[in-house]
Chains A and B, each alone.
Chain A
Amino acid sequence: DAGVTQSPTHLIKTRGQQVTLRCSPKSGHDTVSWYQQALGQGPQFIFQYYEEEERQRGNFPDRFSGHQFPNYSSELNVNALLLGDSALYLCASNQGGIYGYTFGSGTRLTVV
């Protein structure tokens, strides 16, 4: 049973560019959340998607946007990249109101 899969695993972008990260949730899960983990910090909540709608958003600027598709997979888009956007981006999925979030291995984004 595949868990949460994320692609790509690593990415290098230039300041000002745009990036799209992808996530496929664990089988049976319908809710996808995205987190940003900066070096030496804990993961920080970006937003959650359920039924193709953004259900809740954390304290991140509008440069961060997302989408959920009918098959429950999700994308995270970041526009106008800043050096400070360099981080590990984690996708987590869960089923409805069950709080056992399953995390993917993440995408390491480096902005130069």
Chain B
Amino acid sequence: DQQVKQNSPSLSVQEGRISILNCDYTNSMFDYFLWYKKYPAEGPTFLISISSIKDKNEDGRFTVFLNKSAKHLSLHIVPSQPGDSAVYFCAALNQAGTALIFGKGTTLSVSS
């Protein structure tokens, strides 16, 4: 059973608009979440993270929101750029702090 779920396999957005990528988790003990971006033939690259003591974290064009009661987080990219086209993975850190538990990823396509 998947503990981290990304239910949208793909998302298409126009350049300049907002991209919203969603992620749900089942284990209420998770307290640290990360987003990674992956281009073909490259490893995942860390984007942004959030601790459960916060409900929002911002870094430039990227903002992550956390709703603990709903066990839901989202990544907002504003404005979206063609270079943002990639696979985005949501991950939760396990309680021991030793492993990342990933969702299946969402493929974002930003058209110009």
Contacts and interface: CB of A to CB of B under 8 A. Distances in A.
Interface of A: 4, 33, 35, 40-45, 48, 55-56, 58, 90, 92, 97, 99-106
Contact of B104 (A33, A41, A92, A106): A41
Interface of B: 4, 6, 32, 34, 36, 41-46, 49, 89, 91, 93-94, 96-105
B46 A102 contact: yes
A48 B99 contact: yes
B99 A45 contact: yes
14 contacts: A33-B98, A41-B104, A42-B91, A42-B105, A45-B94, A48-B98, A56-B99, A92-B100, A97-B97, A100-B46, A101-B100, A103-B43, A104-B43, A106-B43
A43 B44 contact: yes
Given A56-B96, A105-B43, A42 B49 contact: no
A41 B89 CA distance: 10
A105 B41 contact: yes
A105 to B, nearest CB: 5
A112 B4 CA distance: 31
Contacts of A56: 96, 98-99
Contact of B93 (A40, A92, A99): A99
Contacts of B34: 99, 101
Q: Helix, strand, loop or mixed for chain A's interface? A: loop
B4 to A, nearest CB: 8
A9 to B, nearest CB: 9
A30 B89 CA distance: 24
Most A Cβ at <10 Å: residue of B43, B91, B94:
B43
Contacts of A58: 99
Contacts of A100: 46, 49
Contact of A42 (B41, B45, B93, B103): B103
Contacts of B44: 43, 90, 103
Contacts of B102: 35, 42-44
A44 B44 CA distance: 13
